[in-house]
Amino acid sequence: MKRQYLIGDSVWLVLGLAVCFEAWRLNVGDFTRPGPGFLPFWAGALLALLSLIALIQSVLEKPKEEPSVWAGVNIAKLGLVLLALLLYVVLLNTLGFILCTFLLLLFLFRVVEPYPWYIVLLASALSLASVYVIFVRFLDVRLPAGLLDFLR
């Protein structure tokens, strides 16, 4: 864990300091008249202080033989899923809920276990249809129509 903590705690330390800096700009005020930066400043300062202590602890800790936490991570698969989700967010308003979700579901049903395509198609269509019926028909939720707007 040592190396991970060294990196992790450093990130928190930098974040804490950055928050302090930004909060200072927002006007911290004083104890009699706390300003908008008051709580963020002290929370940031505490975060930075605690990260510093944790960081020193990690440095002093003897390195142990441990398997890396990243062992077994399938970076490619993880990246693909994240990319797909990000694309979903970007395209949701243009492509519309139905089209966008259908494509995402096709991908997700294939990614963990490569089921045959007819199962993937069926599962995606079924889950999309049930969610659409529950949320749009029964709960009256508005989802972006996008390209399929003409269907309404």
According to the binding rule CB under 8 A, does residue 12 interact with another protein? Answer: yes
Task: Please tell me whether residue 149 binds another protein under the rule CB under 8 A.
Answer: no
Q: How far apart, in whole angstroms, are the C-alpha atoms of residue 141 and residue 139?
A: 6
User: If binding is defined by CB under 8 A, does position 95 make contact with another protein?
Assistant: no
> Three-class SS of residue 29?
strand
* 144 binds another protein per the rule CB under 8 A: yes
* By the rule CB under 8 A, 129 interacts with another protein: no
The residues with which 122 forms a beta bridge, in sequence order, are none
Site mask for another protein (CB under 8 A), range 72-91, x = bound: xxx--xx--xx--xx-xx--
Residue 40 sits in the site that holds another protein (CB under 8 A): yes
The DSSP annotation for 34-86 comes to B-TTHHHHHHHHHHHHHHHHHHHHHHHSPP-----TTTT--HHHHHHHHHHHH
What b/e string do you get for 35-53 counting C-beta neighbours within 10 Å, with b at 16 or more? eebbebbeebeebbeebbe
* Residue numbers at the binding site for another protein (CB under 8 A): 1, 4-5, 8-9, 12, 15-16, 19, 22-23, 26-27, 30-40, 43-44, 46-47, 50-51, 53-54, 57, 69-70, 72-74, 77-78, 81-82, 85-86, 88-89, 92-93, 101, 104-105, 108-109, 111-113, 115, 123-124, 127-128, 131, 135, 139-144
